[in-house]
Amino acid sequence: MALALLSVPSADALGSLPGIRRGMLAAANPLSAVFWSSAEAILQQIADGEATVGDVRTWLEATGTEPNGIIGLHVWDDQSERSQLAAEMHTRLVTYLEEQLAAGVIDPDLLATADQAACRGYIELQERWMTSALPDGRVPMDALLDEKDEEFLAEWDAADAEALAVMQALLDQVGDRPRPDEDLRHASVRLRELIAEPGWPGQLLIECGGVRAKDLPADEGELWLSLAAGVASPQGSDDWGAPGTSRDEPREMDSAIAAICAIDHFDWLAVITALTAGGPGTPASAEDLAAYVRDYDPDDGERGEDEDEDEADFELAELDAGEDDEFDEFDELGMEELFLPVTTLWQALGAIDDQERLTPLGWWGLPEAMRLVWGPSDETPG
């Protein structure tokens, strides 16, 4: 009844309420006075343009057979956007709630009047069902969250592939970037020394790179690229918190990793594009990197003849920019703060120098590290 009333213009629904109520009474299913008064109130709010989505959602849930929009860690998508699994689980839950309503376990009148105990019990009832095994052994909450995880990973893989394609097109234009073997050797020695010392930034490099200090790769290129890839995609390690670290350092490390993880595909692509196209000597301070993100337009610059590259550029920008037009109010200072730990680690790697400018090692290595981050998971650094 509630869904039917919401499926027509609110003015029409309001006008039809008396007739519907008489018809339900004649059919020996009168519903309660609380339901009719709450229906009139929400429909009037909608007609007056005063009702929010939350108001309507709360009224629907007060019927006692509409699941809460958020149950535990699961958020129900709109009906038109639900997967087959989500649609099945939603239907099963609705059926269960209908059974509980018929058995008198749920009192919709108390829900409609926002009785705290009734509302709390209604949520607990749904949570118990969502975390209990069905006859076929599936646990609804686990099944739904697993599906969401798979969807997220698939979307992330697609974004990786698009970013890699855009970067590869740029690298093809730039041409050869020779590996500076002497610089790489010096950087490798310095990195091993840093990592052997307790505290910042060596321990942060280990944490981001997902390596253990006692099991560092022997190959210089593999060591450097593994650590550089970890700066863009922190992996985590068991070495943090070892003797010699202060109580403040773990908090500082957590803050740094959180900042790095907030940098998305679009941001990294903007930075790598600017540095790769600019070559050694390109400014690379946190302020510079934030400006590259601010000014980046994947549709600018020369393009190949393959239209798929243009489409990939557009889709990548659309994916990361979202639908909120966030770049209309670009937070340059906030972006700069996100890149501060990055520049610290890049200096430790020798990718940028003391003047925070790109080095020949960074020009060769940073794009190669991003290949590892965005490429197939079975790629081996070297």
| pLDDT > 90: percent of the chain | 60
Above 70 in pLDDT, residue 48? Answer: yes
| pLDDT > 70: percent of the chain | 86
Q: How confident is the model at residue 125 (pLDDT cuts 50, 70, 90)?
A: very high
8 Å CB contact between 345 and 205: yes
Q: Residue 249's pLDDT is what?
A: 52
Measured CA to CA in angstroms, residue 254 lies from 61, 229, 304 at distances of 39, 18, 41
Q: How confident is the model at residue 245 (pLDDT cuts 50, 70, 90)?
A: very low
Averaged confidence pLDDT in the chain:
85
Lowest mean pLDDT among 182-196, 295-309, 332-346, 352-366: 295-309
Q: Residue 328's pLDDT is what?
A: 57
Above 90 in pLDDT, residue 351? Answer: yes
Above 70 in pLDDT, residue 320? Answer: no
110-134 average pLDDT score: 94
pTM of the model: 0.64
